[in-house]
Amino acid sequence: MGRLNGKVAIITGAASGQGASEAEIFAKEGAKVVAVDVQTDLLQQVVSNIQEVGGEAISIKLDVSSEEDWKTVIEQTLETYGKVDILVNNAGVIISNNIENCTLDEWNKIQNINSTGVYLGMKYVIAEMLKTGGGSIVNISSIDSIVGGSSSAAYVASKGSVRSLSRHTAIDYAKCNIRVNSVFPGYIITPMTEEQLTDEERSEYIYSQTALPYLGKPEDIAYGVLYLASDESKFVTGTELVIDGGYTAK
């Protein structure tokens, strides 16, 4: 407990899945959490869950591809907490189409959320981190940007963009004490999805998607993000943390 005491963290895509798990774990570790997403009802439930157990959090609606929305999030975060120490760019979408069948509208939608959203988040948060002497940014990429095995050409491209932009920004702002790292989740399953699998389907899925004999869950990613967000990783920047149950090592 207390690994993020005194820190203010903006977490995108915080309404469900990995983002919700990150928000809850960060709050337990002492962070003041600014949970942002377009799914406002689910987002408010995450914030309520945090507050019910004594954590501190607020919710703000954010379309990560909107520059005006990002300006509003920064403004409200500063009004409420006075600073930003941590940014987790977690929001993302996927549409499964190979490059031949991917429409331009699908391509642009995925790039706008998965890639441009990360750029905008870093652009506006870094401006505030420079004023306070540093901070930590964690961008969520995907193992699909390493192995290229996804069924979505646009998704692979967007996550490759996140990977490259993270390394560029890490070097660009290292002397300013702003650390930028990326996390590469493998195939993470939610409790709801797991319940829908038969025992045979679950065994086949485990065999094909991990080396370990079980499936990853949102908290498995969240704890890796927590390390990179905390001062425990103060000498870590520009790194790529793969959390995939050994899939890419197979």
Q: Which of 87, 22, 13 is nearest to 55 (CA)?
A: 22
Q: Where residue 55 sits, what CATH number does that domain have?
A: 3.40.50.720
Does a structural domain hold residue 202? no
Dump pLDDT digits (tens) for 97-122. Answer: 899 999 999 999 999 999 999 999 99
Instruction: Return mean pLDDT, the chain.
Output: 95
**Number of domain units in the chain:** 1
User: Is the residue at 204 inside a domain?
Assistant: no
247 is catalytic: no
Which range marks the domain in which residue 165 is found?
8-190+217-249
Q: What is the predicted pLDDT for the residue at 250?
A: 85
192 pLDDT exceeds 70?
no
Whether 197 is covered by a domain: the verdict is no
- Higher-confidence residue of 113 and 195: namely 113
Q: Note whether residue 209 is domain-resident.
A: no
Residue at 196 is within a domain: no
| Residue 88 domain flag | yes
The residues, ordered by sequence, that sit 6+ positions from 84 with a Cβ below 8 Å of its Cβ are: 8, 9, 10, 34, 74, 77, 78, 125, 128, 129, 132, 135
- Is the pLDDT assigned to residue 197 strictly greater than 90? no
pTM of the model: 0.95
- The one catalytic residue in 81, 155, 173, 247 is 155
Q: Report the C-alpha gap between 196 and 86 in whole angstroms.
A: 35
Over residues 35-54, mean pLDDT = 97
Query: CA gyration radius for the chain?
Result: 17
Element holding 199 (H helix, E strand): helix 199-209
185 versus 194: the higher-pLDDT residue is 185
For the sheet with 8-12, list strands across it.
56-61, 32-37, 8-12, 86-89, 135-140, 178-185, 240-243
Residue 191 binned pLDDT confidence (cut-offs 50, 70, 90)? low
